[in-house]
Amino acid sequence: MRLDFTWVAMALKNTLRNRRRSFVTLGIAATGTAAALLGAGFASYTYQSLAEISARDTGHVVLAAPHWFAGTEDVPLQHGLVGSAALARQLLARPGVRRVLPRLQFTGLVSNGDKSEIFVGTGVDPAQEFAVRGPFIRVDAGTLLEADAARPDIVLGRILARSLGAHPGTALTLLSTTTSGSLNALDVTVTGIVSSGIDEMDKRLAMVDLATAQGLLATDKVSTLAVYLDDLDASAATAADLRLRYAGRLDVRDWQDLAQVYRSVRGLYDRIFGFLGAIMLVVVLGAIANTLAMAVVERTREIGALRALGTTPGEVMRLFALEGMALGAAGALAGALIAAGIGAALLALGIQMPPPPGRTSGYPLAVTIAPQAYAVAMMAVTLLAALAALCVSRAAAHRPVTEALAHV
């Protein structure tokens, strides 16, 4: 134990021989580590935000009749779900299930008498639907749908409402195809104008009460049942269990199966930040290797003297490895503290990013501070710094003693 401590103390003293060079190396290591952690933290925050948006929009687990997700129907709800109320009660009895929301997807024309527009509608349970969507749907005017309203009401996307000249209280007519293939019309009253944050959706968005949608399509079917869980991470396991239970009777998907945007963004960010992280790692290791290589050249005669006194090549390499670990660990620790400080400052300042392509609202600039990720990054930098030190010191440690002592 005493011998090990002696080697560690010697390595720490050696790193301070050339303080300016060591501090520059620490600065580079700290900057690279902080940059890598901030990039990874930003990507992780983005993943969490997109996952929350996707799960709230579709549900953690979605159940539908076979062939529904294929989207091939000759008439509306040809592959609709029958007996949704009883199935919803069964699902609510499962532990960990918070809500089960029926939804009915339909399309048609909406008219103000002078002008008609295509809409993409959803029949929902107002008492629960807007509770789960939370901040991801914004009310620009009026109010949201009410449960058990005395009249058929509708909520429109802001661009669709603007195109029709509609506002809260405006009377409109919906025209759609029933499940038997005939046309049906229904008069509705606009209660609210909303924004989803995506222009393409707001051009066609319409939401009505589930009973109103079923009356328009002359059916008691629904399109899907959206299951909301207490824990997002339980989605895959719950979906797998429900697939086994309802095999052949229902098609079950979890939110990741339906979240194309989430998968695309995650794949892109993984490549971008993975590449940048690799570059930062190479820069850090290059700085540490350069510092130790210069130290090896300057201390060649010292290495020869140590060898002459009986120090083995392995012990010489261990000394330089400890020096590399010291530089790497100090730089990684400083970088982790810098990254955590910047992350906390971003949360406090509330800086907003500009809207991404296709959206109308920005999002907060924030990074995830994950202790486990920080620990892994610090350990990786420290171990790789030790590996770099072993590589640059190997030749000098195995150099003949006479040549090392004669080195100028």
What is the pLDDT averaged over residues 166-194? Answer: 94
Half-sphere exposure for 8 (CA within 13 Å, toward CB) = 7
Q: 108-137 pLDDT, tens per residue?
A: 999 998 999 999 999 999 989 988 987 788
Question: What confidence category does residue 206 fall into, taking pLDDT thresholds of 50, 70 and 90?
Answer: very high
Q: Which residue bears the tokens 């609709």?
A: 80
Q: What is the chain's mean pLDDT, rounded?
A: 88
Question: What confidence category does residue 11 fall into, taking pLDDT thresholds of 50, 70 and 90?
Answer: confident
Which amino acid would we find at residue 225?
L
What is the pLDDT averaged over residues 84-93? Answer: 94
d(CA 132, CA 138): 13
DSSP code string of 296-323: HHHTHHHHHHHHHTT--HHHHHHHHHHH
Residue 358: predicted pLDDT: 62
* Tokens representing residue 387 in the block: 């590996």
d(CA 404, CA 398): 10
Could you tell me the CA-to-CA distances from 323 to 41, 92, 216, 236, 393 in Å, in that order?
Answer: 29, 60, 76, 46, 11
Q: 293-330 pLDDT, tens per residue?
A: 888 888 888 888 888 888 888 888 888 888 888 888 99
Residue 2: predicted pLDDT: 46
DSSP code string of 20-82: HHHHHHHHHHHHHHHHHHHHHHHHHHHHHHHHHHHHHHH-SEEEE-TTTTTT--SSTTTTPBS
What is the pLDDT averaged over residues 241-250? Answer: 93
What own/partner pairs with CB < 8 Å and gap ≥ 24 does 139-144 have?
139/192, 139/193, 139/194, 140/192, 140/193, 140/194, 140/195, 141/167, 141/168, 141/192, 141/193, 142/167, 142/168, 142/169, 142/190, 142/191, 142/192, 142/193, 143/168, 143/191, 143/192, 144/191, 144/192, 144/194
Residue 210: predicted pLDDT: 94
Residue 10: predicted pLDDT: 80
Residue 231: phi, psi to the nearest 5? -130, 120
d(CA 78, CA 217): 12
What is the pLDDT averaged over residues 86-92? Answer: 94
d(CA 184, CA 312): 92
Residue 175: predicted pLDDT: 95
Q: Which residue bears the tokens 């509306």?
A: 76
- Which range, 18-27, 53-62, 140-149, 343-352, is most confident? 53-62
What is the pLDDT averaged over residues 160-170? Answer: 94
Residue 215: predicted pLDDT: 94
Contact 102, 225 (CB under 8 A): yes
* Tokens representing residue 293 in the block: 């290589």
Contact 156, 191 (CB under 8 A): no
